[in-house]
Structure formats: structure tokens, C-alpha cells
Structure 1
Amino acid sequence: MSSTSTAGAPRHGALRRTPSGLLQDWLPRIVVAPSLVVSLVFVYGFMLWTFVLSLTNSRMLPSYDFIGFAQYARLMENERWWVASTNLVVFGGLFVALCLFLGVVLAILLDQRIRQEGALRTIYLYPMALSFIVTGVVWKWLLNPSLGIEAMVQGWGFETFSFDWLVDPNMAIYTLVIAAVWQASGFVMALFLAGLRGVDDSILKAAQLDGASLPRIYWRVVMPCLRPVLFSAVMILAHIAIKSFDLVMALTGGGPGYATDLPATFMYTHTFSRAQIGLGSASAMLMLGGVLAILIPYLYCELRGRKHG
């Protein structure tokens, strides 16, 4: 009996925790709890509240007279919303594609260990340090027909030269693409350059020994290894495109007319500023749906890769 009780004593003692041990276990949870509560309330709580408002007839102030999905129906019948949605497809598609192309090309060039690599990397990455407001104002000056590129080239003697996209309703959306690509392509370059530097050199040497050319090595060997970087870049760029507001307001103001409206500018100028809280909440929820449509497939591929990895 004594041996049994003696053998059980350590196990019983192991269950006892000292106050300092309990504090050590609970301290991380106590530290994280405030930020978790703030996130739940001010992020997810407000998202839920926005969805509730989108089901009401709220105007200047919140109202809880529920009308179902009538605000979404109004939104679908709004011509300006469809212009903004079409612009988002054009702007977002070109923005993501051009940033990826330029970013990959610049990263591959810098990966050749060229001279002054640090200076060039800083030059390409510097625009990302600017706010979209600054970018929009600068490109507004450059693209202004009476002040910018058009006036400069005409001053050189090419009087027939014309570059008036900023005031052309059919071309103004592409000025947003130019400014956004100029700012974000350096960031994509940095992502891919970090990925390229992480590729095992032995793989590249083996491909060179097999007689593969440098372009073929990058296309067939290196780029498949950078698939996670590609997914991350696409997700970040698409998120930037969907929520773009400050660049539009600084560069075109949504004009000419509302030719360069995006969902974010539509939500501000056509709904909330006109006391249409319910309609604005509906447009906000559709924007959230666009973000989730990009985020969920990315997370699915990421988690599936880890599961099978």
C-alpha cells in the first residue's frame, strides 16, 4: 500500500500549480484579450452591423425598419453602380496583370547581381512609400493636358501630339491604371526578388547542367517554386484595387462625370454623402463579398497545400 501511495504522490503533486505557474499560463491570454475584443467589436461587429443596416431603409440616421434585400435590388438597378463595377473589372484586371508582369521582370533583372542593385531596388520600391494621395496629385499634374506631358511635348515642337486621357471619359480609367501600376509594381518586385533569393541554387545549377537556357530555367523551374509568392501578390493587389478610393479622388475625382467611379468612390459620393446609409451599406457588403471571393480561394489553396505538404 505504501508503495502505491508513494507512486501516486508525484502524479498528484504534478496537478498542483503554483500561483506563478498559473500566471505564466494565463499572462499571454490576458495580454492578447484586449486586442481580440477590440477586433471582434470594431471589425467583425461593425461588419455585422453594416449587413443589418443594408437590410433596412436607413437614410441619414440608422433605422431598423427591415425591408429585406430591397437595397440590393436598388443597387442592381443603379446605372452608376454598374459603371463603377465595370471600371473595377477594367482597373483591377489591368492593375494586377501589369504589376505582376513588371514586378517579375524587374525582380529577374535584379536577380542577375547587377551593379548598383541596392540603388535600383530602392528607386523601384520608393513609390510604394508614398501615399496614394501624393501619387494621384503628381500624376494629375503630369497628365493635365495644359500643364503636363502633352504641353511639354508640344513645347518641343510636336504641336499635333495629344495625350488628353485625363479629360476623356473613355480613357480616363486608364490614367488610374498608370498611376497605380507606377506605385505598386516596385512592391511586387520586392516580393518576387525575395522569393528568387530563396530558391535553392543547386536546382538552378542542375538545370544549367542539363543545358536549359536562362529564360527556360526561370519559366520552367523558378516560377513554379514561387507559386506562394504569386498567390500573395495577387491577393494583395486585388485587395488594393477593390478598396481604391484616395487615388481616384486625388487623380480624377471620379470624373469626367462619373466615368472613373469605383465601388469605393460610389459608396462615398453617391450613398453616404447623400444620406443613403442603407444603400451605402449594401454596396459595402458587395465590396466585402469581392474581397472574400479572392481571400477564400487563396486560404483554401494555402491550407490544402499545407495539408498535403
Structure 2
Amino acid sequence: MAEKLALVGIGKIARDQHIPAIAGNPDWQLEAAVSRHAGVDGIDHFQTIDELLEKRPDITTVSLAIPPQPRFEYAAKALKAGKHVMLEKPPGQSLAECYALEALAREHGVTLFATWHSRYADSVPALKAFLAERTLKRLKITWKEDVRRWHPGQEWIWEPGGMGVFDPGINALSILTEVLPYPVHLTGATLEFPENRATPIAAGLTFADPVGAEMSADFDWRQEGPQTWDIDVETDRGAAKLSLGGEKLEIDGEPVIQGANHEYANLYVRMADLVKSGTSDVDLSPMIHVCDAFSLGRRVITDPFEF
């Protein structure tokens, strides 16, 4: 029997990704939406999470597709009500919030899934297998996109807790922490802040690799035209390039995998498995790198940004 699910936040990411992924998975039945401004045809609509929890106690799972700033309150209420909770990335606006939610899920015996959709791109497992059998020499992340295209008019990303360019950049870091056979840590960062914004529009990161590989990341939200979501690696036995955010993989210049956009469909498969097994998945390693970047980063003021 399909689990009854409520989707909180009916914005661009919900309509583009969450709703089609839920509709295509027989383990889920979308029963309700929570949003102050929008609904979904054919299902119950509520203005607040409190109204949802009061009027639809039969719903077992809540998926949160809202900005990180209000997410803790919504998630905490759902967990305390005995609901399984799925968190859009990043899982919160601080690490402390995420640890608190993890503890609440344990206390109430429910599933908490901190999702990293880019980890579920088609070519990520193959890159992980490639690196597991080789010694890494160099890794370079280039993650550049147009914020006006992907976040039109969304002011929350420029407010504290919104993370700025790390909203997409954390996707790259989620792949990095998935494919490497060992952990790495940040050694330095340069963060470019528009003079009128509270979060960065660009960032350059460097990492310490335990085997001595050169490792860096370049994030930028000002790229027009073709968008760039690449990870290039060199090893002792060949090179690989992950592109299109994880859909495509080349090894030594030859295409190996040309996937499609299955990330959110795979997330809901994973969530169903977690609920069935009574377990949680709360890996915060990508967010640790972001927090370290804000801690270690040298702040540079750049031109103001307006939508």
C-alpha cells in the first residue's frame, strides 16, 4: 500500500522535480500540499503545517521543499507528530538544527532523510567505482550557473541562512563526499559577496587530501549561456570527467555514461526504502564543508546584484 505523503512548499523545485517524481513512484500517494500561495489540483491544500497535522492525521510522510530558513520549525513539528520527514537540500540553515532534527527522529522512532539529489545522478556511482581503484592526483570542481535562470526573484537565497552560491555549490560537495574513498577537509576559501547582499555570489575553495592530491572548487552564480556543472579528476591510471551535474561520465576522453535526469525519482525510491526499513539517512558532510568555508573564507566585496 502506498504511503500517504504531504508536500510542503509548492514552488519551482516542487513543480519541476518533486511532484513528477512522486507521481511516478507507486510507493507514494500525494495527498496534500502546504503552501501560503499555491496548491496542487486534486489534493487537499493547507496554509500551515499545523493545519495539515490537525486535519490529516492519516498522512505518514512529509516532504519539505521550502527554503532552509523556516525548515527546522516545520520538520520539528512533523517529527514530533510521528511523521517521517524528507528534507530538500540543504537540510537546514545550520548544523545544530540538523543535529537536533536527527535526535528528534530517533526519539520519536521515525525516518529522517537529508537528501542530496546530485548524489543520485546517473553517473555518480560509476565515478565512485573509478576512484576506488586508483590513486587521485588532481580533482577540480567547476560549478557555474545563472542565478537569474534557476532562482528567479527568490530573495531568500541572499538572506542569512540562504547560503548564496553554496545553494548549488553544495550539490557539487555532495558528489565530492560521495565519490571519494576517504574524507577531506577544507583548507581555505575566498568568498565574493555583492555589496548589497548577505550571502556570496561566487566562491573558490581548496581542500587537503590525505594522499596529497591537488583539490579545489570554483563556484559562480554569474555565468550566462551554457551552464557548467563539472568535476574533473586525474589519477595514476587515467582521467575522468563528470559533467551535466552528474548525468554524464567520460573516462580518458571517451563517453562512458550519458544518463538523464533521474535524481529526484531516485530520492523518492531511497525514501521509500528508509521508511520500510525503519532507518534514517542524515549525512551532513557536504554542509560541514560549507560551514567551514564561511568560517575560513576571506571575504571580498564585489558589484551589487539585482534580479
TM-score norm. by structure 1 comes to 0.24
Which one has a larger percent strand, Structure 1 or Structure 2? 2
TM-score norm. by structure 2 comes to 0.24
Give the structure with higher Rg (CA): 1
Which one has a larger percent helix, Structure 1 or Structure 2? 1
